Amino acid sequence: MAESDGQERTEKPTEQRLKQAREKGQIPRSKELGTAAVLLGAAAGLLLLSGSLGRAMSRVFEQSFRIERATLFDPAAMMPALTDAIASLVWPLLGLFAIVLVAALLGNILLGGFNFSTQAMMPKFSRMSPMKGLKRMFGVQAAVELLKSVAKVAFIALFAAWLLWGQFEHILGLSHEVLPVALVDALELLLWMGLVLCLALLPIVAIDVPFQLWNHSRQLKMTLQEIKDEYKNTEGKPEVKGRIRRLQQEMANRRMMAEVPSADVVVVNPSHYSVALRYDKDRPGSAPMVVAKGLDEIALKIREIAREYEVPVISSPALARAIYHSTKLDREIPEGLFVAVAQVLAYVFQLNAWRKGQGRPPVPLKDDLPIPEEYRA
């Protein structure tokens, strides 16, 4: 189906499109499935409850034909007699109605499921348009429904004729039976023929259900532009999402930079890497934690803040790369780097003590700190 912009609906409906259609009450439904379910439920219910229903009707007939003369002319006796008749029939009929009700509900929710839509209940004034009404009456859809109805009636009629022809001798044989037996036999034959005739609707249902599913999917098909627009509406425009990500990254960087003054040391690769470490001496058993890390411009900014707040900056390219690639922000360093980081912290603590006039100058750090091969980047 061509759109106004020249695009065709060639793409399957998305989950969002299906959800919106369901909210509007636009779901696949099969009238044939509902009709077949009701008729089969009624036929099956009559077969299951025929015994109790027949006995109840017999009691009502007996009570009705055995009314005494005094009761017949007593106006006050009419209501008790009616109440007794209703009480005899109420339970078998309620059972039959319950079976038909369950069959009707199942027949309508088997395809499309249960759906309650307030939008579908709202009045639509467009449906009151005479021109649109005529279009629906004489349109392609109306012609298809007419052909379906004619084919369905013809099929059911042929099936009923075949069924009657097959039971023709049995029907004629009822005239040779005594009255009570003939009546029971005729009712039983009628019920079974009704059930088999209802089963003739199943081939029609088997054709209609796939057609309704296909037609529903066809009506909801989308153009490529509609899919792109839906993606933009649900996921957001790429440029907006990119700006949001940049703002979030900037906020995260500002929070990270605020932690640099509290670090004990910043380990750097003079060209690209900077990693700020903090060790809490008051927590026995804890390991040094990465409070800030970055590459290139962020690494330069970390070093600037460290120098501003007099946080020692130690150049160790291999260790800086190892910590950067192995440890996430606000996480403790891995066990394999404990020895190397411990040497750096020991050097820093000795350096801070010497600057305060306590102790001797620290021994310079070795260039080849003990870093396991799996942590070398």
Question: Where do the domains of the chain lie?
Answer: 26-119+132-221, 258-375
Residue 289: enclosing H or E segment and its boundaries?
strand 289-295
Q: Is residue 181 scored above 80 in pLDDT?
A: no
Q: What is the pLDDT of residue 2?
A: 42
Contact call for residues 341 and 319 (beta carbons, < 8 A): yes
**pLDDT band per the 50, 70, 90 thresholds, residue 101:** very high
Neighbouring residues of 377: CB distance < 8 A, sequence distance ≥ 6: 321, 322, 324, 325
Q: What is the pLDDT of residue 258?
A: 83
Contact call for residues 174 and 187 (beta carbons, < 8 A): no
**pLDDT band per the 50, 70, 90 thresholds, residue 48:** confident
Q: Is residue 218 scored above 60 in pLDDT?
A: yes
Fold of 258-375: name from scop (3.40.1690)
Beta strands 273-278 and 313-315 are unpaired
Would you state the structure tokens that stand for residue 58, as one six-digit string? 């017999």
Contact call for residues 4 and 226 (beta carbons, < 8 A): no
**pLDDT band per the 50, 70, 90 thresholds, residue 98:** very high
Instruction: Determine phi and psi for 89, rounding to 5 degrees.
Output: -100, -15
Question: Which residues is 293 bridged to in the sheet?
Answer: 275
* b/e burial code for range 312-341 (CB count within 10 A of at least 16 → b): bbbebbbbbbbbbebbebeebbbeebeebb
Q: What is the pLDDT of residue 1?
A: 42
pLDDT tens-digit series, residues 115-128: 776 666 666 666 66
Using alpha carbons, list the distances in angstroms from residue 213 to 123, 201, 208, 210, 301.
26, 18, 9, 5, 61
Give the mean pLDDT of 357-376. Answer: 76
Contact call for residues 30 and 195 (beta carbons, < 8 A): no
**pLDDT band per the 50, 70, 90 thresholds, residue 4:** very low
Give the mean pLDDT of 174-200. Answer: 79
Q: What is the pLDDT of residue 97?
A: 92
Within 130-223, residue ranges assigned H as helices are 130-138, 140-166, 168-173, 179-199, 201-219
DSSP annotation of 127 reads G
